[in-house]
Amino acid sequence: MVKVVQSVQKKIFIKSTPERVWRALTQADERNAWETRSCEMDIRIGGQVTLDYGWGASYVGTIIELEEEQKLVLQGNDKQLTTWTITSEADGVLVSIEYTGSWAGDIGLMEMDNMLFGTYQFMLNLKSVLEKEVDLRKNFWKSWIGVLHRTVDKREGTKVVQVIASTPADGLLEVDDVITAVNGNTVQCYDDLESYVFSCDPGQNLIISLIRDGQELPVSLHTIGFGHSN
């Protein structure tokens, strides 16, 4: 049976107020302070939101539901929904984001994992900016090795679904390889590999432990600047 995911969510607790988090979500200068490089925000039902995250990622959506300081629902050009919810709790707020759509197959699940990973990095930065006034983005997506991958069922590693030509992984890693460790650090899921690699400086040597055709193999390669080729 093909695995199909139709709803995914990330949450984070922030020591702040609903009003402060709402401003961070809905005012362009505030949004640029923790997430986007540039954005345009028309905060009303039917208003358009355009987000440029950098690193080649962007989003355009239309506001279909709005509850000030509580909820913001956007519908993307692909008709998928993005729902931000702000809930008051003791000493702060719980901020959640839910995506509804349809993700299936290796490429679809890779895209879902990638979306959730990127989302949570920015949520961590929102927390850091609001609580400490520290922007973490200088450490985001510094490097890559040139593989697209997805979490293996039961969190037993992350499976290579595509190897990008002319990158360090080209000729060394193969589709269906399951990566289980990097430099001795256990990899149980997409986030484990991605967070380790993207925080490395370009040119860092890595030892990738993987399973290929039932055999455990070590592969040595190096990182390069994110999105670059050899």
CATH code assigned at 111: 3.30.530.20
Q: Both 24 and 118 in a single domain?
A: yes
pLDDT digits (tens, 9 = 90+) for 8-54: 999 999 999 999 999 999 999 999 999 999 999 999 999 999 999 99
Does a structural domain hold residue 70? yes
Q: Both 41 and 83 in a single domain?
A: yes
pLDDT value for 155: 85
Cα distance between residue 71 and residue 86, in whole Å: 6
Q: Both 64 and 98 in a single domain?
A: yes
Q: Both 132 and 194 in a single domain?
A: no
The pLDDT of residue 133 is above 90: yes
Does a structural domain hold residue 125? yes
Residue 180 contacts residue 209 (beta carbons within 8 Å):
yes
Does a structural domain hold residue 82? yes
pTM equals: 0.94
Residue 182 contacts residue 207 (beta carbons within 8 Å):
yes
pLDDT value for 210: 98
Q: Both 132 and 215 in a single domain?
A: no
pLDDT digits (tens, 9 = 90+) for 67-119: 999 999 999 999 999 999 999 999 999 999 999 999 999 999 999 999 999 99
Total tally of structural domains belonging to the chain: 2
Q: Both 111 and 208 in a single domain?
A: no
Q: Both 211 and 110 in a single domain?
A: no
Mean of pLDDT values over 125-140: 97
Cα distance between residue 224 and residue 156, in whole Å: 26
Could you give the percent of the chain with pLDDT greater than 90?
96
Does a structural domain hold residue 118? yes
Q: Both 122 and 180 in a single domain?
A: no
Q: What is the CATH number of the domain that holds 184?
A: 2.30.42.10
Q: Both 177 and 128 in a single domain?
A: no
Residue 105 contacts residue 95 (beta carbons within 8 Å):
no
**Residue listed under structure tokens 């139709």:** 6
Does a structural domain hold residue 230? no
Residue 93 contacts residue 14 (beta carbons within 8 Å):
yes
Q: Both 105 and 18 in a single domain?
A: yes
Q: Both 73 and 37 in a single domain?
A: yes
Residues 6+ apart with CB under 8 A from 207: 182, 183, 184, 218, 219, 220
Q: Both 131 and 152 in a single domain?
A: no
Structural domain of 87: 4-137
3-state secondary structure the chain: CCCEEEEEEEEEEECCCHHHHHHHHHCHHHHHCCCCCEEEECCCCCCEEEEEEECCEEEEEEEEEEECCCEEEEEECCCCEEEEEEEEECCEEEEEEEEEEEEEHHHHHHHHHHHHHHHHHHHHHHHHHHHHCCCCHHHCCCEECCEEEEECCCCCCEEEEEECCCCCCCCCCCCCCEEEEECCEECCCHHHHHHHHHCCCCCCEEEEEEEECCEEEEEEEECEECCCCC
pLDDT value for 167: 98
pLDDT digits (tens, 9 = 90+) for 156-192: 999 999 999 999 999 999 999 999 999 999 999 999 9
